[in-house]
């Protein structure tokens, strides 16, 4: 049976020692919610919820899956009870506005909770995760009436939310959307939506009393393409007011026609939704729906990045537990367990390579994610326009990098955990093959990782005349300059400096060639994103190594913990960062190796 323990010690190290997250308490609205003491209490309780409530129903949920009968979808045994406890404990509103019943905690804390939830039960996490995105869209773009009607219920968790984008004939190319929205005569402000949406996560289920769909559709006068898309809120049950409360009223004309039979996340209902004149109301301005929907999508992309991290963490933990317990052969340099018939497989170099890859990724990715989370908090809350702008630029830059790299590695680490298990890894009862199946979708939805790479080179690189890039390049340059004379840091700073110089070189090449021929930028995009991600990981690992050295020199804390940090940092710099050089060479090769072959040659 699989195991999971929330990595709270590592989270504390990143928040308190490396990132000094206590500084978030200087932001307006976080004065009382960002203290290390409160954060620690919240995360302790969150860890208990994930370990004791969500994790035990992960495998059973995968085995049972969701079921549909006459349009009614039921989630696996235990999910409804777990969700009720989750909602009653306030976890649906971690980072939501207290005005609507939320905890008002920093997004950085919410990032941590997203990781813990996805490690414990990724399928379960889809339900509140989609609601959080719908909350954001209404909070930022809805009318005050819409906010008052929907947000308290969504924060309370008794109503949930979805995002309805994809149609059978269009996925990434949203300009092809056909769902139409026509004004309802005699009902000021209401529209009748007609069309079909597919791959709608949490589109129908039995966890909440109402489901609030956010739907992209076209008005009758809509121009062609993405400039003609509007966003609508379409509830499953039309809200009606009883006193000061909103309750579900008449059933709307939106139904679930079927659910998908998927490779993974089987306890998450992925639905085909049919709108047959369903009543909806405009969110934001007409024909500006894509902008409003991207509020959800950008938040969702960071959430999906945390799914990759969460799956990698639990897969790594299970690979490690198995490697310490499984006896096979003797160590190459002599017997390590003379009292046993064979040594545990953790003595073998290749097993250590696989485990250290998981450890180096998860610990580095966690720090990189929370660094980005702090920037998101600054962007949202800072009263200083310049600081908020800087932080917003960094978040925009890092979003496609985190989404693509974290989810690629989430699947890779899950696959490595299977490999550590050998034949047992391929067997359902051991649990790790589920992690590989669950992880695979994260590389696809919320924009495939190839789309993330195109977003990076096509939009984020040149955005604001390259200002986004400077938000990352400047702190890296400053760190290298500050520590390059420190002999103790040489083994971390010099590899970072070399990789960073090549990233700057490939950035210039992609920009120059891409201006002349966009195919050149497209051909380089995936390798460039991977190179960028590895340099970002090297930067954050160098920061963690420096802090671990400081703790060891001061004789503070757990010596073994900080020594492990340095060992893992060395592994990353010597065994994982060199991939950045290979990616650099791929980027510099240009488009011709990809594009010169005629289609008939394949």
User: How far is it, in rounded angstroms, from Cα 128 to Cα 89?
Assistant: 13
User: How far is it, in rounded angstroms, from Cα 225 to Cα 229?
Assistant: 8
- Does residue 326 lie within any of the structural domains? no
Same domain, 191 and 130: no
- Tell me whether residue 446 is one of the annotated catalytic residues: yes
pLDDT at 171: 78
- Does residue 307 lie within any of the structural domains? no
User: How far is it, in rounded angstroms, from Cα 170 to Cα 39?
Assistant: 42
Domain of residue 39, CATH code: 1.10.540.10
- Does residue 230 lie within any of the structural domains? yes
Same domain, 527 and 489: yes
- Does residue 460 lie within any of the structural domains? yes
Element at 455 (helix H, strand E)? helix 449-455
Q: Is 189 exposed, middle or buried (0-12, 13-18, 19+ CB in 10 A)?
A: exposed
3-state secondary structure 194-240: EEEEEEEECCCCCCCCEEEEEEEEECCCCCCHHHHEEEEEEECEEEE
Same domain, 50 and 12: yes
pLDDT at 359: 98
- Does residue 369 lie within any of the structural domains? no
Is the pLDDT assigned to residue 467 strictly greater than 90?
A: yes
Please report which confidence band the pLDDT of residue 595 belongs to, taking 50, 70 and 90 as the band edges. very high
Please report which confidence band the pLDDT of residue 481 belongs to, taking 50, 70 and 90 as the band edges. very high
Same domain, 119 and 201: no
Is the pLDDT assigned to residue 216 strictly greater than 90?
A: yes
User: How far is it, in rounded angstroms, from Cα 542 to Cα 494?
Assistant: 10
Other residues' Cβ atoms within 10 Å of the Cβ of residue 424: 15
Q: Which of 259, 286, 313 is the last residue of a domain?
A: 286
Q: Which of 141, 172, 205 is the last residue of a domain?
A: 141
Is the pLDDT assigned to residue 594 strictly greater than 80?
A: yes
Q: Which of 113, 141, 169 is the last residue of a domain?
A: 141
- Does residue 416 lie within any of the structural domains? no
Provide mean pLDDT across the span 51-73: 97
Domain of residue 225, CATH code: 2.40.110.20
Beta bridge mates, 251:
237
pLDDT at 545: 98
Same domain, 108 and 199: no
Same domain, 579 and 462: yes
pLDDT at 300: 86
Diameter of the chain by CA atoms? 85
User: What is the chain's mean pLDDT, rounded?
Assistant: 96
Question: How far lies 491's CA from each of 135, 355, 550, 562, 563, in Å?
Answer: 45, 22, 16, 16, 15
Please report which confidence band the pLDDT of residue 49 belongs to, taking 50, 70 and 90 as the band edges. very high
Is the pLDDT assigned to residue 295 strictly greater than 80?
A: no
Same domain, 196 and 134: no
Same domain, 207 and 242: yes
pLDDT at 203: 98
Q: What Rg value do the Cα atoms of the chain yield, rounded?
A: 24
Same domain, 166 and 136: no
DSSP state of 344: B
- Does residue 334 lie within any of the structural domains? no
Beta-strand relationship, 270-283 and 230-235: antiparallel
Please report which confidence band the pLDDT of residue 188 belongs to, taking 50, 70 and 90 as the band edges. confident
Structure confidence by residue, pLDDT tens digits, 220-249: 999 999 899 999 999 999 999 999 899 999
* Burial profile 562-585: b = 16 or more Cβ within 10 angstroms, e = fewer: beebbebbbbbbeebbeebeebbe
> Domain of 99?
8-141
Same domain, 131 and 233: no
Same domain, 111 and 168: no
- Does residue 258 lie within any of the structural domains? yes
Is the pLDDT assigned to residue 297 strictly greater than 90?
A: no
Catalytic pick from 182, 446, 520, 600?
446
Same domain, 19 and 132: yes
CA atoms within 13 A on the CB side of 34: 24
Chain centroid offset of residue 580 CA: 23
pLDDT at 118: 98
Structure confidence by residue, pLDDT tens digits, 97-117: 999 999 999 999 999 999 999
Number of domains into which the chain is organized:
3
Please report which confidence band the pLDDT of residue 464 belongs to, taking 50, 70 and 90 as the band edges. confident
């Amino acid at each position: 049976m699989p195991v999971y323990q929330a990595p709270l010690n590592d989270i504390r190290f990143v928040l308190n020692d490396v990132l000094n997250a206590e500084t978030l308490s200087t932001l307006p609205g976080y004065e009382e919610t960002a203290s290390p003491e409160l954060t620690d209490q919240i995360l302790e309780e969150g860890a208990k919820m994930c370990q004791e409530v969500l994790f035990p129903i992960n495998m059973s949920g995968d085995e049972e899956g969701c079921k549909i009968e006459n349009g009614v979808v039921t989630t696996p045994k235990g999910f409804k009870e777990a969700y009720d406890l989750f909602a009653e404990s306030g976890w649906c509103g971690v980072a939501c506005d207290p005005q609507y019943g939320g905890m008002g905690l920093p997004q950085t804390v919410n990032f941590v909770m997203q990781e813990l939830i996805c490690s414990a039960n990724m399928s379960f996490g889809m339900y509140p995760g989609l609601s959080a995105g719908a909350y954001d869209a209404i909070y930022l773009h809805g009318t005050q009436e819409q906010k008052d009607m929907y947000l308290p219920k969504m924060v309370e968790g008794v109503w949930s939310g979805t995002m309805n984008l994809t149609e059978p004939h269009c996925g990434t190319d949203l300009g092809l959307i056909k769902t139409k929205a026509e004004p309802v005569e005699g009902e000021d402000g209401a529209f009748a939506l007609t069309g079909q949406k597919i791959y709608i996560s949490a589109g129908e289920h039995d966890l909440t009393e109402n489901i609030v769909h956010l739907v992209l559709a076209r008005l009758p006068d809509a121009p062609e393409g993405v400039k003609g898309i509007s966003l609508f809120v379409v509830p499953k049950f039309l809200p009606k007011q009883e006193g000061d409360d909103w309750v579900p009223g008449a059933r709307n004309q939106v139904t679930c026609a079927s659910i998908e039979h998927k490779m993974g996340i089987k306890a998450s209902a992925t639905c085909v939704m049919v709108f047959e004149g369903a009543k909806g109301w405009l969110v934001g301005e007409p024909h500006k729906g894509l902008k409003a929907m991207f509020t959800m999508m950008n938040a969702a992309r960071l959430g999906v990045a945390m799914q990759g991290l969460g799956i990698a963490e639990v897969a790594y933990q299970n690979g490690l537990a198995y490697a310490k317990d499984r006896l096979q052969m003797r160590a190459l340099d002599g017997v390590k367990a003379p009292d046993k018939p064979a040594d545990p497989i953790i003595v073998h170099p290749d097993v250590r390579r696989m485990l250290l890859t998981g450890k180096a990724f998860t610990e580095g990715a966690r720090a990189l994610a929370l660094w980005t989370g702090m920037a998101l908090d600054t962007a949202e809350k800072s009263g200083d326009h310049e600081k908020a702008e800087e932080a917003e630029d960094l978040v925009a830059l890092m979003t496609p990098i985190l989404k693509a790299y974290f989810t690629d590695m989430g699947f890779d680490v899950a696959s490595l955990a299977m490999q550590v298990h050998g034949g047992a890894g391929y067997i359902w009862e051991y649990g790790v093959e589920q992690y590989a199946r669950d992880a695979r979708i994260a590389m696809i939805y919320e924009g495939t990782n190839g789309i993330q790479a195109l977003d990076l080179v096509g939009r984020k690189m040149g955005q604001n005349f390259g200002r986004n890039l400077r938000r990352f390049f400047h702190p890296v340059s400053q760190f290298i300059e500050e520590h390059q004379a420190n002999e103790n840091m040489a083994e971390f700073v010099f590899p970072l400096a070399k990789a960073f110089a090549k990233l700057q070189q490939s950035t210039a090449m992609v920009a120059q060639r891409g201006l002349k021929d966009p195919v050149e930028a497209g051909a380089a995009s995936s390798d460039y994103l991977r190179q960028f991600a590895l340099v970002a990981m090297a930067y954050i690992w160098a920061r963690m190594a420096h802090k671990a050295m400081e703790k060891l020199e001061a004789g503070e804390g757990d010596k073994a913990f900080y020594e492990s940090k340095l060992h893992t940092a060395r592994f990353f710099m010597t065994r994982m960062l060199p991939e950045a050089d290979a990616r650099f060479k791929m980027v510099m090769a240009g488009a011709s190796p990809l594009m010169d072959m005629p289609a008939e040659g394949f």
